[in-house]
Amino acid sequence: MLRGWPSRIALSNVVIGSLGELSPGAVRPSDKHGEQAALMQETHSTRSHATAPAEPKASTVAVVGLGGIGGVAAGCLQDAGRHGVFACARRPFDCLTLERPERTVSVPLRVMTNPKEAEPADWVLLCTKAHETRSTADWLRRLCRPSTLIAVLQNGIGHNARVAPIAAGATVVPVIVYYNGERLAADHVRLRHVTQYDLAVADDGPGRAFAELLDGTGLRVFLSTEFKTLQWRKLLINAVANPITALTRQRQTVLRREDVHALCLAVLNEAIAVGRADGAHLAGDEAEQTLSTLMTYPAEAGTSMYFDTLAGRPLEIEALTGAIVAAGERHAIATPLNRALLTLLRAVSDAAAQEGQAVRA
Ligand SMILES: NC(=O)c1ccc[n+]([C@@H]2O[C@H](COP(=O)([O-])OP(=O)(O)OC[C@H]3O[C@@H](n4cnc5c(N)ncnc54)[C@H](OP(=O)(O)O)[C@@H]3O)[C@@H](O)[C@H]2O)c1
């Protein structure tokens, strides 16, 4: 049903990229001034691309992983009521409470805990942490067929390489997540909009189908003609904020120290050289702009890796710093600082995993 990709769409939740997105402000979620200007430009672009309103299509949607991101996605889809939504989680519940800025809703939700119960779906939204992807293989085997699309709502790069081997021939749709999703309890999540768009996908057939899927949910999708650049820009933010807060066990206030700030610049410049070799169009002052963006975040904000470290959970390090080091190797670019961070974080993460195994044994 979804194989005839929409070539033109006119949806209320979509911003379509154009050459304007190459300007740094257009793709920095927290750079409010540049972003406002760029998005005004993009909104104009949306109008000029639009034709007739899209026909509503009902799909079956399986959300795998009901944490902050999956819970918000499932809650928004269920609240919009256009699709048949069910969740694949490790703990059962019947009703999901979603706090969003405009209102709080409680929606009934079918939650499965046994992959054997799952039937093939039109869409899978894979919302686990990147390092948990392999553990969802039993779910994906049951949920996917070649016509299925798997939207991967995870940080990092390399979504296709990570997911395709367990996707049973389904199409992988990488998604950049800009909204903040907080899990307050297993059945209770909170959505915070961080910028004027919540998600970004490539402006291609599967990306447009994803935007269409989310029409009416209130989650705003940016269709990007420069998706790789956006992926690297998000990766750069994560490549300093997450490792440094996790290793120092301090919130983002630590990034404001002069010595740490200088270290971040050096880590970023290594990663930027790799990103450019990988095809991302990164600005001459990309490192400085990335740090300026980080300085707009509250000093008392944590990062997911900081919270995972404090909680003794394994870390999402391979998809972030690991991806930079691996891409550096592919392009023969040395990344000694990122490699040092990776080594230390692997040690932290492996110890957490071993402790977890010992507790479960
Ligand atoms: N949260 C944010 O604001 C945010 C923003 C941007 C990007 N991201 C990215 O989005 C992705 C998801 O992040 P998140 O914050 O939603 O993570 P999270 O809160 O840790 O949620 C992950 C969920 O996946 C579940 N899960 C893991 N393995 C599973 C399996 N085999 N079967 C079923 N469920 C499984 C976990 O279940 P348990 O509870 O049982 O462990 C958990 O509920 C990450 O890549 C993250 O970096 C997050």
Domain identity same for 162 and 255: no
Residue 331 to residue 360: CA distance in whole angstroms? 41
- CATH number of the domain encompassing residue 76: 3.40.50.720
Residue 303 to residue 311: CA distance in whole angstroms? 12
Residue 53 to residue 212: CA distance in whole angstroms? 11
Ligand 1 atom nearest to CA at 186? 39
Q: In the listed set 224, 256, 272, which residue is the last one of a domain according to the structure?
A: 224
How many other C-beta atoms can be found within 10 angstroms of the C-beta atom of residue 160?
15
Q: In the listed set 224, 246, 275, which residue is the last one of a domain according to the structure?
A: 224
Domain identity same for 216 and 153: yes
Residues 151 and 173: beta-carbon distance below 8 Å? yes
Within-domain flag for 55 = no
> Helix (H) and strand (E) counts for the chain?
11, 13
Tracing tokens 């974080």 back to the chain, one arrives at: 345
pTM of the model: 0.90
Mean pLDDT over the full length of the chain: 89
Within-domain flag for 147 = yes
Domain identity same for 73 and 213: yes
- Site to probe by mutation for ligand 1, drawn from 132, 306, 317 as the one with most ligand atoms within 8 Å of Cβ, is 132
Within-domain flag for 325 = yes
Percent of the chain predicted with pLDDT > 70: 86
- CATH number of the domain encompassing residue 330: 1.10.1040.10
User: Ligand 1 center to residue 305 CA distance, Å?
Assistant: 12
Within-domain flag for 27 = no
Domain identity same for 104 and 201: yes
Q: Considering the candidates 32, 57, 228, 234, report the single residue annotated as catalytic.
A: 234
Closest C-alpha to ligand 1, atom 6: 177
Residue 84, burial from CB neighbour count under 10 angstroms (0-12, 13-18, 19+): middle
Within-domain flag for 47 = no
Q: In the listed set 201, 224, 247, which residue is the last one of a domain according to the structure?
A: 224
User: Ligand 1 center to residue 68 CA distance, Å?
Assistant: 6
Within-domain flag for 14 = no
Domain identity same for 81 and 203: yes
Residue 69 to residue 12: CA distance in whole angstroms? 21
Domain identity same for 236 and 215: no
What pLDDT sits at residue 55?
Answer: 60
Within-domain flag for 306 = yes
17-73 pLDDT per residue, tens:
643 443 333 344 433 333 333 332 232 233 233 344 556 679 999 999 999 999 999
Domain identity same for 173 and 111: yes
Within-domain flag for 189 = yes
What does the pLDDT average to over 248-254?
Answer: 98
Amino acid at 317: I
For residue 356, what pLDDT band results from cuts at 50, 70 and 90? confident
Domain identity same for 174 and 297: no
114-167 pLDDT per residue, tens:
999 999 999 999 999 999 999 999 999 999 999 999 999 999 999 999 999 999
Domain identity same for 205 and 301: no
User: Ligand 1 center to residue 131 CA distance, Å?
Assistant: 10
Ligand 1 atom nearest to CA at 130? 45
Closest C-alpha to ligand 1, atom 27: 128
Residue 60 to residue 119: CA distance in whole angstroms? 10
What does the pLDDT average to over 234-263?
Answer: 98
DSSP-assigned letters across all residues of 250-274: --GGGGGSHHHHHHHHHHHHHHHHH
Instruction: Provide the domain count of the chain.
Output: 2
Domain identity same for 206 and 267: no
Closest C-alpha to ligand 1, atom 5: 180
Domain identity same for 250 and 102: no
Known catalytic residue at 234? yes
Percent of the chain predicted with pLDDT > 90: 81
* Domain coverage including residue 142: 60-224
Residue 265 to residue 55: CA distance in whole angstroms? 48
Domain identity same for 169 and 258: no
227-237 pLDDT per residue, tens:
999 999 999 99
User: Ligand 1 center to residue 8 CA distance, Å?
Assistant: 32
What does the pLDDT average to over 259-268?
Answer: 98
Residue 39, burial from CB neighbour count under 10 angstroms (0-12, 13-18, 19+): buried
Which amino acids bring their CB within 6 angstroms of ligand 1?
A: 64-70, 88-90, 127-130, 132, 135-136, 153-155, 177, 180-181, 183, 304, 316
